[in-house]
Structure 1
Amino acid sequence: MTDLVTWVELGDSLAAIGGAAYARHAHPAAYWSTVGLPLSVVRLLASYSSTMDACGLTVEPSRWRALAVRATTRREVRPVPPRRGVIRPTTTGLRMRLRLVPGQEPADVAASAERLQHAWGVHAVHVRDVKPGVVELRLVGFDVLRKVRMPRRLDGGSLRIPVALREDATAFVRDYRAVPHELVLGATLSGKSMYLRNLLTGLAAQPVALVGIDCKRGVELAPFAPRLSALATDPDQAAELLPALVKEMEDRYDLIKARQGVAPGTPEELITSDVWGLPEDERPAPIVLFIDEVAELFLVATRKEEERRDEMVTQLIRLAQLGRAAGIYLEVCGQRFGSELGKGATMLRAQLTGRVCHRVNDDASAKMALGDIAPEAVGAACAIAAELPGLAVVGDSSGGWSRIRTPYLSLADAAATCRATADLAPDVPALHRFRPYVPPMPVEASGPVATARPVTE
């Protein structure tokens, strides 16, 4: 009987271990909440001081502190680590604030992030500045980019679209007011279209005019035609659409100038330099221009096409340089984007502040996207595996960068969202003649149709 109980207890232990191992692989969020979180908290609390000392994040105590310790406890005076705040558990990890000791800077903590990751048994540690002297450690318990689940609380708003998930489990928000123009690069099947799809559906729910240039005969943007205010499906149509956008931009500048020509006694809040300072009833709707496969606008075969290319590139550069104040924003997508495309390519790229680089086929493509703003991110972009579509490296002009991954969104669901929000498309008279044709949806009969019969006497 004793042997049977022993075998049952051993079987229960093995089953528990096997179940935990399976949950860690198949359901990492559930494993973290039940097993990983308590273990990491215990490790952190038990080894905080020694870990900080081993990472070189401690300093010698002040003279008064050393005298007080010797006078009250008569024990050895130890180096002082950063003061730890309250540990806040989350569904994906932990958050904790540290008050730096004199002589430290946030870069010291960021340099030890990988050591802290292994010491506390978590997937990654990210450091963020909160205020002078205080940093926040965001401990991520598992790889949140393997199976993307967007946070429940999303910081959206006007022209702010939560489009992907960062590696620190926060949402990557595409903010057009802060970063007006963006370049999105990626090889075939890298997830570039999925990023564009999520961005389009997010904007579709806002009163924003969506304009598309898809020189692949519209195969990428045509499904969203019910919500688009204009669509060009070949270079010839694009050559007609871009001047109309430039003319709309100039008209908006005339509107801003008219507002600036106010009387001397006008309050300061009524004086503006962009469309967002105009009264709401006078403010024109923002316009977001999506260009899929931008290289098609640059490629030419004849002298006539070369002249058309130069005109279109000039108009794109004008939109990139002056469009922000007029409420016109660019989202430029392609597989490569460099000087080999032709005159004006690098000048246009310099105006695209935001950079998103998916998996690319060579190092040069990654350098085109990130080399001029975040050189350290080039290696991370080249290391993206083909088995992880949607994974990308995003950089900004400040030199910062991070990994993101876009959640899956089917084309059918995205097209349905655009059909449902078609009535939100603002009226932009300059784009009326470029509005794509949308065939009417077939109406299904709700019941059997009765057959007419002649009236008999």
Structure 2
Amino acid sequence: MSDLTTLLEVGGPVAALGGGAAYARTKHPAAYWSTVGLPVSAVRLLSSYGSVMEACGLTVAPSRLRVLAVKAMTQREVRPVPPRRGIIRPTTTGLRIRLRLAPGQEPADFAASAERLRHAWGVHAVYVTTVKPGVVDLRLVGYDVLRRVRMPRKAVHGPLKVPVALREDATPFVRDYRTIPHQLTLGATLSGKSMYLRHLVAGLAPQSVALVGIDCKRGVELAPFAPRLSALATDPEQAAELLPVLVNEMEDRYDLIKARQGIAPGTPDEEITSDIWGLPDHERPVPVVLFVDEVAELFLVATKKDEERRDEMVTQLIRLAQLGRAAGIYLEVCGQRFGAELGKGATMLRAQLTGRVCHRVNDEASAKMALGDIAPEAVQAACSIAPERPGLAVAGDTSGGWSRIRTPYLSLGDAAETCRESAHLVPDLPALKPFRPDVPVRPVGTAAPVFLPRPVAD
């Protein structure tokens, strides 16, 4: 009986602790990492750093001076030298360690061994970034941060910058229109494309920017944000009227820039500009972000008249994509399907869209259209996105880099409320006033009486 009691007293807490750790690892990975995973991984890294580097081929032969010193002072075998290690810096999602490369090493050596380092140290992933020549950062991610997205508190904010998703290396994916002016976003139904667009609109709403929408699904995607929109077209006919107005606005801004470039002899160099951002604050026009949802609807035609209208709209979109950046006009082109078979101008328009985000798509051709020309290896990653992980996407740009990202959940009501609260920030653009959407008046409910009325007796 005493043995059974001792077993229960000792085994019970151990079993509860093990079960609690297993539950936390599955349901609350961030808490598990902070309490269990972080100390274990740090000890494992410190105790096996030299042997792991040697096994991965990331060591170099010691210098002659080191060999002589070791032989003179000890009888130990002279072993290869690993890179010099810095202080381990814990984070909420993993570990960071800075390494100084040994002579003859390059960052590509560590990137090629990232998978072996991941298994050796028991973490979810290892990412290598170059800090400066001869110095790299190893970012160890302790768990799958894309399973349940939690945006960092210190995400980058600023003019025309929106932290819209989380990368697989636990860093925020920031949509920066000043750096990447135009972007193509593709995704099938229920892939998370609408959530991505919702985050962009909600992030730009509090900023000094004009938001313009073309939503060929009769406005079901962008109509809830009507209080903050400067213009909204809900079908191809209205889009055909709106796009020439934006082109004229762009040309007027170029005239403003050229007028500023009527350079007088004594004009300082810093006042000479080639875009609106070099203009003084009181002269600079407000930037415009154009959201085009279901872009394929602009390409589809049924009659000869529709074909002429299509050609005009596509030409105007291409002009905005080619020339709009300097005028402060940025494009966010979204759709379920995008391919060369849409017709003339599709490939030319894609070539002007620097940023690419591809959610789950229904065919490989769409993934190739989005990513094949910038990062062919990212096409397979986009085609392997599971339907049960909405919001997961592959983001890339024309530099060839790409990464997996996932957008956190944002309800339509919260995004619409942000737009209503920012309705006073809609800029005054006279050319867009005819296209300003009607904002429905919210009904004001009557307060219920505190006391029920009592009938008066006759």
TM-score, scaled relative to structure 1: 0.97
Whole-angstrom distance in 2 between the partners of 1:371 and 1:198: 26
Letter in 1 for 2:373: D
**1:107-144 CA distance string (max 9 Å, x none):** 11011111111111101111111111111111111100
Report the equivalent of 1:360.
Answer: 361
Deviation, structure 1 residue 15: 1.4
For residues 429 and 444 of structure 2, the distance between their equivalents in structure 1, rounded to whole angstroms, comes to 29
Tell me, in whole angstroms, the C-alpha distance in 2 between the residues paired with 1:395 and 1:142.
23
1:434 counterpart residue number: 435
Matches within 5 A, 1:240-259: 240-259=241-260
Looking at structure 2, the residues matched to 430 and 447 of structure 1 have their Cα atoms a distance apart, in angstroms, of: 45
Deviation for aligned residue 1:446? 4.8
What is the CA-CA distance between 1:74 and the residue it aligns to? Answer: 3.1
Q: Report the counterpart of residue 452 of structure 1 in structure 2.
A: none
Instruction: Report what 1:184 is aligned to.
Output: 185
Counterpart code for 1:51? V
Pairwise CA distance, 1:239: 0.3
Instruction: Identify the residue that residue 351 of structure 2 maps to in structure 1.
Output: 350
What CA distance in whole angstroms lies between the structure 1 residues aligned with 2:427 and 2:125? Answer: 44
The 3-state SS of whatever aligns with 1:438 is coil
Aligned to 1:146: 147
CA deviations over 1:339-380 (Å, ceiling 9, x no partner) = 100000000000000000000112111111100001111111
CA distance in structure 1 between the partners assigned to 2:344 and 2:95 by the alignment: 50
Residue-by-residue CA offset, 1:66-106 (whole Å, 9 max, x unaligned) = 22222222321111111111100011100111111111111
Amino acid in structure 1 at the alignment position of 2:327: A
Mapping of residues 410-425 of structure 1, within 5 Å = 410-425=411-426
Output the amino acid matched with 1:103.
Answer: G
Per-residue CA deviations over 1:255-283 (Å, capped at 9, x if unaligned) read 00011112021101100000000000100
Q: Distance in 1 between matches of 2:80 and 2:408?
A: 45
Residue in 2 that maps onto 1:73: 74
3-state SS, counterpart of residue 154 of structure 2: coil
The amino acid of 2:119's aligned partner reads H
> 2:203 matched to which residue of 1?
202
Deviation at 1:439? 1.8
2:63 is matched with 62
> How big is the shift at 1:14?
1.3
After the TM superposition, list the runs of 4 or more consecutive aligned residues in structure 1 that deviate by more than 6 angstroms: none
> Matched residues in 2 for 1:384 and 1:444: separation?
45
Q: How does 1:279-358 map to 2 (within 5 A)?
A: 279-358=280-359
AA at the equivalent of 2:129: R
Q: Aligned AA for 1:100? A: L
Map 1:387-398 onto structure 2 (within 5 A).
387-398=388-399
Partner SS for 1:102: coil
Partners in 2 of 1:209 and 1:415 — Cα distance?
16
Q: What is the match of residue 454 of structure 2?
A: none
Structure 1 Cα separation of the partners of residues 174 and 201 of structure 2: 13
Deviation at 1:319, TM superposition (A): 0.2
Which amino acid letter does the alignment assign opposite residue 288 of structure 1?
A: V
Gaps of 5+ in 2: 451-458
Aligned equivalent of 1:11: 12
Residue in structure 2 matched with residue 231 of structure 1 by the alignment:
232
Q: Which amino acid aligns with 1:32?
A: W
Q: Which amino acid aligns with 1:199?
A: L
Q: What code does the residue aligned with 2:271 have?
A: L
The corresponding residue for 2:46 is 45
Q: Distance in 2 between matches of 1:363 and 1:443?
A: 50
- Partners of 1:66 and 1:378 lie apart in 2 by 49
Aligned mates of 1:120, 1:322 — CA distance in 2 = 50
Alignment-derived partner of residue 34 in structure 1: 35
Structure-2 separation of matches of 1:390 and 1:79: 46
The separation in 2 between residues aligned to 1:124 and 1:272, in whole angstroms, is 45
Letter of the structure 2 residue corresponding to residue 151 of structure 1:
P
Q: CA deviation at 1:54?
A: 0.7
Structure 1: runs of 5 or more not aligned: 450-457
**Which residue does the alignment assign to 1:372?**
373
State how far apart, in whole Å, the 2-side matches of 1:69 and 1:235 are: 78
The separation in 1 between residues aligned to 2:77 and 2:26, in whole angstroms, is 45
2:113 is matched with 112
Q: Distance in 2 between matches of 1:327 and 1:446?
A: 47
> Could you tell me which amino acid in structure 2 is paired with residue 286 of structure 1?
P
CA distance in 2, matches of 1:150, 1:69: 50
1:128 paired residue number: 129
Correspondence for 1:159: 160
Structure 1 residues 3 and 442: CA distance shift in structure 2, 3 A: closer
Partners of 1:13 and 1:446 lie apart in 2 by 57
Query: Structure 1: how far apart are the matches of 2:254 and 2:135?
Result: 43
Give the residue type in structure 1 aligned to 2:236: P
Q: Which residue of 2 aligns with 1:454?
A: none
Q: In the TM superposition, what whole-angstrom CA distance separates every residue of 1:390-438 from its partner, at most 9, and x where no partner exists?
A: 0000011111110000000011111111111111111111111110011
Q: Secondary structure at the match of 2:76?
A: coil
In structure 2, what is the Cα distance between the partners aligned to 1:165 and 1:91? 14
Q: Could you tell me how far 1:63 is from its partner in structure 2?
A: 1.5
- TM-superposed CA distance for 1:7, in Å, is 2.6
Q: Which residue of 2 aligns with 1:95?
A: 96
**Within 1, Cα distance between the matches of 2:270 and 2:396?**
34
Give the Å deviation of 1:18.
1.0
Give the residue type in structure 1 aligned to 2:441: P
Aligned to 1:455: none
